[in-house]
Structure 1
């Protein structure tokens, strides 16, 4: 595991433990995908700490049933920029300010899928949709707001494919996922430079957790990868969803990060550089921390979405 620095939390900390004693009364958080897996635990923890949470969801009825009234639900399909526009227009019309945005929603290793103008679905949903969402919501950010991009050690699998980010030839579902997770990290790195003084953006690796995110990975493949154990116990090094949500809520609230804008975090702490290719150990690869790449990705995303130029 990554050696702790000074946060006081670690690999086994839960979201509830991280927010114990934290008063978020009067704060508003937007959590994409905040009704399933890590997102649901994130929403619960923020709500229990007093925050009012808005959960934009592609399936609002399903989201409302899962949340049981603890958060507001609205419709948002991150793979459809018109849907992003509609959601943000509805939200901005309320005049409410935002203290926390957690870009949690995502898809992993799906079959080749095209959305919008032919964009590769993982890059579009995990990155471009969130890029558009945050840029549209920037006018609503309160002072000292935080934006958290949920990345993953999946970024080990690929940097940005500058010559063909949409995999117009030779689609590889894992490389596409890796590119999207690298994009999440680079997005936070560059966004932090653009936010007003006092507001920050961070990327987080939540850890290895079994959630509905793995729905596109066959059971046999999960078993071969060691994600599933014969007796159904949690694989070594894996986290529960409650533990997996901890780093995101820590990044969204901890004063420890005030002087570390744009940081990549893991196990409720600053991540160390990855020493090898062991994704379970984690850390962060250099291509996910490169400021020139972050600026280049921002420019590409702005050109594709028409937002953030």
Structure 2
């Protein structure tokens, strides 16, 4: 996680597939906002406020755990750091006379993480796709979206972000209400108190790189071809199990989508696609982890320290 703020398709087929693969891996974590920059709808959330998507029903038939998951922060841990960060920002903003609105965060599968096994290799649960196809349950059930954050005033935003926003260079007062504005504003102060950094970056890089590298492995290419042949027998023309995700995840859930997803999962099972693909990727990850084991281990220790600080912050009265 970092302190960058965020509220977490190309028409050509190969571009659509590339974006679909990235979306699959990243879907487990969506970014939220607790306040918006003045005059915009762009969120300005405190450091470490990335949160998973809203709680929804999850598939229960999952691929095996991947090696990199030992270094990826869980959704529940991310949520805890987020709550602590919001609490610290709120207290800081209050010192300067501003009421920082703290919204309640929600999590999906607290034990999950950015590996996003429920959708990493496409859909794998026959009962789930029979009900939702390729959609998220919240999209099908019409779950309400969280309320839009209220824009901050210019004065509040300057205290919130401080000199971390290049657009405010020379515009942030040294003091407000008789107190010095901390470096990076209240968001920077919260980040320092929790020791939030880019400690997830090495693991996240492996999480993404291994997925993309696995797509060109000979075993994966071969099992994709077998899956494609199976789909043709059901009347569908797809070269990759990622292709349906580029065309069937938008709009309203339809019988066509459910039929396609059902055939997709059945063909995955018949050619053992998930076992082959996940096995190949696990091997890739083991090699990549071995090359960065010291970096990953050190980063994990720092994350554990941040979690202890977050827990201590939330244990304080009024948090």
- Who wins on radius of gyration, i.e. which is larger? 2
Note whether the superposition's TM-score is higher than 0.5: no
The structure whose residues are more often strand, as a share, is: 1
TM range (shorter): under 0.3
Instruction: Report the TM-score, using the length of structure 2 for normalisation.
Output: 0.27
